[in-house]
């Protein structure tokens, strides 16, 4: 296939998002940085070194390793993800924090396997759904492998537990399955099964029941199970149109839990108002639009589906985080891509951009 220069629009959008994300993090993390290290930029520096530094390495790997290699390695990457997700439950390797067993610990550093799985599973599904099967039998043949592979990951991720990441993987996978040409009946069947499974999961675990209760009745137990969402509402509500001004958030002073990770969008709206919050959302939508444009502009079916898959992971995670903070869905506990503090998430997202950038070399825009 003829190759072109990397897509500059994609790289510019990503660059803007990274710079804006660091600026927003510098404000949201200042209180905790001073408390932990007596340094206002402690977490920003760590994000630069671990998140962006590691992310650039991941970007280069994704960009320079030929797409044909990723396709051939797809099933192996899926098995690798299963192994990593299983290792978190082993003593001395798995790391437990905040009531969850989601991390692997190596020499003082932690890695979240579910973050890696978002990308490896997108590669696996793109390879699976682009197989050259008979046109009429293709999706009937792919439906069972799709169910089984999602189901295996779901069991491991639920056991951690990490419902937010499972939601990202499930929704982005469903988008990819639909875009690949699945029948509407198959998509509706998957949605029905997913809804029933979600209902059962909520019923069997008290903390999930509490989150659903707070979602339906936000005023429930404002000092207990409803504390985080009500503090987020206070932050968002006090931002009004143009916000309190950059750096002037009050909620980050130990009122709003997780102000530099899960709840950072509330701080953004508090300081920059609805205008700032919408502007950030538009940047995410522009990134997703560019990813879809690349998918449309290439003739290779694997490249198309891979572009849709990794783009969907980014936008779905962003929307889930933002909608949870605004009270449109139950709180999930996932980060805002390129903005929240977190090395594993940042590395994963820049890996996705590396994949998209390589695909752009084969796309005629």
80: three-class secondary structure by DSSP? helix
* pLDDT above 70 (res 10): yes
Read off the pLDDT of each residue in 292-304 and give the average, rounded to a whole number: 93
**Structure confidence at residue 1 as a pLDDT band (50, 70, 90):** low
Residue closest to 317 by CA, chosen among 294, 287, 279, 296 = 287
Q: What is the pTM of this model?
A: 0.92
Range with lowest mean pLDDT among 24-33, 120-129, 225-234: 225-234
* pLDDT above 70 (res 138): no
Q: pLDDT tens digit string along 243-292?
A: 999 989 999 998 888 899 889 999 999 999 999 999 999 999 999 999 99
d(CA 186, CA 171): 14
- Can you tell me which residue has the tokens 């299963």? 82
As to burial, measured by CB atoms within 10 angstroms (0-12 exposed, 13-18 middle, 19+ buried), residue 225 is middle
Cβ-contact 28, 41 below 8 angstroms: no
d(CA 356, CA 276): 27
Angle 253-100-114 from CA coordinates, rounded to 5°: 100
**Structure confidence at residue 186 as a pLDDT band (50, 70, 90):** confident
């Amino acid at each position: 296939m003829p190759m072109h220069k990397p897509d500059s629009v994609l790289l510019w959008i990503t660059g803007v998002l990274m710079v804006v994300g660091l600026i927003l993090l510098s404000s949201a993390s200042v209180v905790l940085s001073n408390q932990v290290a007596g340094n206002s930029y402690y977490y920003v520096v760590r994000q630069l070194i671990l998140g962006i530094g590691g992310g650039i390495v991941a970007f280069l790997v994704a960009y320079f390793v030929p797409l044909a290699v990723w396709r051939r390695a797809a099933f192996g990457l899926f098995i690798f993800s299963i192994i990593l997700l299983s290792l978190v439950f082993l003593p001395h390797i798995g790391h437990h924090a905040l009531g969850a067993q989601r991390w692997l610990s190596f020499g003082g550093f932690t890695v979240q396997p579910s973050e890696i799985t978002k990308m490896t599973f997108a590669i696996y599904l793109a390879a699976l759904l682009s197989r050259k099967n008979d046109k009429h039998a293709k999706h009937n043949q792919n439906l069972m492998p799709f169910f089984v592979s999602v189901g295996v990951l779901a069991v491991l991720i639920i056991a951690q537990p990490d419902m937010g990441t499972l939601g990202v993987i499930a929704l982005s996978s469903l988008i990819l399955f639909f875009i690949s040409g699945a029948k509407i009946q198959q998509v509706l069947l998957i949605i029905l099964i997913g809804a029933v499974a979600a209902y059962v999961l909520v019923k069997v675990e008290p903390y999930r029941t509490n989150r659903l209760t707070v979602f339906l009745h936000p005023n429930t137990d404002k000092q207990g199970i409803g504390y985080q969402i009500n503090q987020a509402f206070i932050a968002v509500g006090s931002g009004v149109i143009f916000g309190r001004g950059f750096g002037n958030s009050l909620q980050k002073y130990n009122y709003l839990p997780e102000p530099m990770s899960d709840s950072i969008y509330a701080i953004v709206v508090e300081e920059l108002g609805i205008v700032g919050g919408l502007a950030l959302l538009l940047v995410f939508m522009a990134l997703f639009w560019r990813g879809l444009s690349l998918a449309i502009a290439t003739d290779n079916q694997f490249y198309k589906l891979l572009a849709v898959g990794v783009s969907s992971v980014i936008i779905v995670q962003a929307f889930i985080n933002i909608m949870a903070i605004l009270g449109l869905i139950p709180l999930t506990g996932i980060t805002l891509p390129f903005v929240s503090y977190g090395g594993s998430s940042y590395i994963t997202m820049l890996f996705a951009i590396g994949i998209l950038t390589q695909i752009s070399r084969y796309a005629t825009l």
